[in-house]
Amino acid sequence: MNARKVAPGLSAVGAVDWDRRLFDSLIPLPDGTSYNSYLLRTGKQTVLFDTVDPSQTATLMANLTSVDDLAYIVVHHVEQDHSGSLLDVLARFPQAQVLCSPKAVDLLGDHLHVDTSILRAVEDGEELSVGDKTLRFIHTPWVHWPETMSTYIVEDRVLLSCDMFGSHLAVSDVLARDEEVLPAAKRYYAEIMMPLHAAVSRNLTKIEHLDIALIGPSHGPVYTNPQLIIEAYRDWAEGPPHNTVVIPHVTMHGSTRILVDRLTASLVDRGVRVERFDLAGVDLGRLATALVDAATLVAGTPTVLTGPHPAMVSVLYLVNALRPKTQFLSVVGSYGWGSKMLEMVKTYTANMRAEFIEPVIVKGAPREEDLERVDSLAGAIAQKHAEAGLT
């Protein structure tokens, strides 16, 4: 993608990665992604904010062809999808001064083997006059690394927010369409930011006094309606969960599916919304997104060698790491001859601090009395949601 205008004097010169389908060998990218690098021309000096993933270096360098002199390179975040082309840019512009947060200095040395003597650390709130523009650096740690920072271009009211407010979305438009970007931004929040929701809240407070006209994240399109994504982040990080049950499930001989089907119907009858995910072909990003708002998680799993099915173990490990604001947890499942599944599920979800509701675990195929126990579980969940005032 060629350079695209964002605001007067500010261009997006990074790369749209249309075809990438997996990030960090972990995160599915159904809609591709982008690595956003921004170029600010002030009349006297030029500033580059971030570089791109090494796989897209050629695109960035092509978009810098018309640049004769680069005064500063701002590194908001050391992870390679933001800094991976830094050495290539420095080779082209050796006179450029590299600005980063104090905690980024050693990390740039470790990850890119940059000579740290050429780096200049900027303090939280420090301002730098560049031509007719003022850059204010705002440290935003733990969204999502400890060294992350943002830049506020004072005169233009533009916040370059790094990973905060990002979305893995490859689109031709440089400016966001709200109805298109919000679902992608929520998925990105779930996968990247949800484990760090307390840090998200702190950093939202740090920027709430700013007069912001545009937000340029490091992935995805630029927001022309900043309050939309800021308020969405407030809700995702701080708002109460919804009257929703997420049911990841897997079955071997059909017994667990019978229990999950009965639980789904019984919850819906009681006015509780259900989101189900068959682990035989699950998109983990969709599952993570559902957990942003869900009040309850019910794991549907058979027993394998006394423990949960391996597919469920993987999901519970992920959920435990994501630490959603889920308040209640339970299990429905089956076993052949013996099971320690319940104890293992509790161990795998220790970080969640959710209240455990009496599970339904049956030997062999479910009987009618087992299905009635499932109805009781649904009733207990609905009552807990009602007592918590969830909608």
pLDDT at 117 over 90: yes
Same domain, 268 and 125: no
CA distance 165 to 222: 10
Is the domain of 221 the same as that of 194?
yes
Same domain? For 107 and 180 the reply is yes
- Say if residue 182 is in the same domain as residue 133: yes
> Do the strands 15-17 and 33-35 form a parallel or antiparallel pair, or are they unpaired?
antiparallel
Statement to judge: residues 330 and 309 lie in one domain = yes
Let me know whether 103 and 147 are in one domain: yes
At residue 1 the predicted structure's pLDDT band, cuts being 50, 70 and 90, is confident
pTM over 0.85: yes
The residue among 192, 215, 238 that closes a domain is 238
CATH number at residue 172: 3.60.15.10
For the chain, helix, strand, coil in percent to 5 are 35, 25, 35
Through-space distance between the first and last CA atoms of the chain, rounded to whole angstroms: 43
The reply to whether 81 falls in a domain is yes
Same domain, yes or no: 52 and 161: yes
Q: What's the domain count of the chain?
A: 2
CATH code, 350 = 3.40.50.360
What's the pLDDT score for residue 180?
Answer: 87
Domain match, 116 and 177 both: yes
From 238, 268, 291, the end of a domain falls on: 238
* Shared domain check, 79 and 139: yes
Of 362, 365, 363, nearest to 254 by C-alpha is 365
pLDDT tens per residue across span 22-70 = 999 889 999 999 999 999 999 889 999 999 999 999 999 999 999 999 9
Specify whether 233 is located in the same domain as 248.
Answer: no
Are 197 and 265 found together in one domain? no
Mean pLDDT over the full length of the chain: 97
How many CB atoms neighbour CB 176 within 10 A? 26
Q: How far apart are CA 297 and CA 275, in angstroms?
A: 10
Is residue 391 situated within a structural domain?
no
Q: Is residue 205 part of a domain?
A: yes
CA distances from 43 to 46, 96, 132, 262, 388 (A): 8, 16, 7, 67, 57
Spatial CB neighbours of 353, under 8 Å, sequence gap ≥ 6: none
Bridge partners, residue 10, by sequence: 7, 40
Q: How many CB atoms lie within 10 A of CB 19?
A: 8
Same domain as 164, residue 273: no
What pLDDT digit, counting tens, does each position of 225-282 carry?
999 999 999 999 999 999 999 999 999 999 999 999 999 999 999 999 999 999 999 9
Domain's final residue, options 201, 218, 238: 238
Residue 300: which domain range?
Answer: 242-385
Helical H runs in the chain? 57-63, 80-83, 86-92, 102-112, 178-188, 197-207, 226-238, 255-269, 284-291, 310-322, 341-348, 368-387
